[in-house]
Chains A and B, each alone.
Chain A
């Protein structure tokens, strides 16, 4: 795979994974409050 394609996929995947983790933690936070 071309390095630029890999960079675009990696950055996009990292963004989505961050959203999943933060979303899960935020759900627990607001459910407790």
Chain B
């Protein structure tokens, strides 16, 4: 890499650490660490949410998929931005009713009691650490592709920076760095595409040099496979802890709704840009590994000076996702497990201290996890399989319909998790036999068990409200 490229990259890292250090002054309580004092207006919510969900999968993963399969995967995965728009319209505004809530577990406890909080906390932790590990691996992949240093060193260096600013500044540091990272990815990733397309010889040349199937909606997918991926992306990442935490950080329903809905809309744009970069890389570098499509285009096709900035933008894409999941993991552990079941009398200052140490510990754990994962998308999908079949259905039903039934929530979560595990990793190879993914089987089981149990055992509304500290505003 050229000296100026390295300088741009170093300047970006220094800026992130400075933001983290300056944010320390703003973090005086656990409220500040978890939800930035509930003061995030919609432009900030939009930027931090978009930066969080546009990670390694939406950038390098999407480019890699279009490199091998064309636009078809982008169309199937567009279910996620669609789900974000729908969540922004119907769910996010309702979340502001739960005054004092920091986590999904807080809301589950409000509707279903303390045991539901424990299960939600555990599933949230597994999910967040899984995605965090995948993003840590993605950071290593970017370092390796651009600087040539080995993946393990890249993971350690990149995650050390994330750990430093997120531990110091909590949610305040995360949202400020997220805004910076959003600006970089929204400017430099499209710039990479425009320069790449011009190097190919224009869009017409791109179409002429690639198979026709790469530009069709269904590509080489069967209808069943397309629907299966569509549903996985529609439900797999929807309202996961860091995204829900952002809606809870908004000052009111209006800001939550606008920020969430616009972020979903921006997701469509970014998916198209990432997927198109994969096609450009296929024409320019047909022999590379698909995961390297985007970094290789940045490294080889861009002029000196720009490369460092775009590399920083690519790192921004994955680091902004990693910091969000890291912050959420720490907040979920302290709020849903430590404060609820280990030390309910913990004071705010001690809780903030624990959140910082847990943030650090989980970050180190994720680095170890990342060193054993082999593919960004595969690692992401392993974690995707658990969220929707467990927490998502009872959570959405509770928020939309104001349902209260502890048994329905617990049994549906356990049944959904059990069915998913049996379906995906059991001895009978149900996925091959039926064509249904483990996630869909788990979600269907969850819905059936929830509705049946709810009809049998529904509790009076007042008994559940008494068991939680979160109040509806």
Contact = CB atoms under 8 A, between A and B. Distances in A.
B186 interface: yes
B203 A4 contact: yes
B115 interface: no
Given A4-B206, A26-B44, A19 B193 contact: no
Contacts of A11: 190, 269, 272-273
A8 to B, nearest CB: 6
Contacts of A5: 197, 202-204
Interface residues of B, number: 30
Contact of A18 (B39, B197, B206, B266): B266
A8 B440 CA distance: 34
Contacts, number: 73
Contacts of A7: 203, 272
A14 B269 CA distance: 8
A29 B43 contact: yes
Contact of A22 (B26, B46, B176, B206): B46
A12 B204 contact: no
Contacts of A18: 186, 266, 269
B423 interface: no
Tell me what chain A mostly uses at the interface: helix, strand, loop, or mixed.
helix
B161 interface: no
Nearest to A24: B43
B207 interface: yes
Interface in A1-33: 2, 4-5, 7-9, 11-16, 18-19, 21-23, 25-26, 29-30, 33
Interface of B: 26, 39, 41, 43-44, 46-47, 176, 179, 182-183, 186-187, 189-191, 193-194, 197, 202-204, 206-207, 266, 269-270, 272-273, 276
Interface of A: 2, 4-5, 7-9, 11-16, 18-19, 21-23, 25-26, 29-30, 33
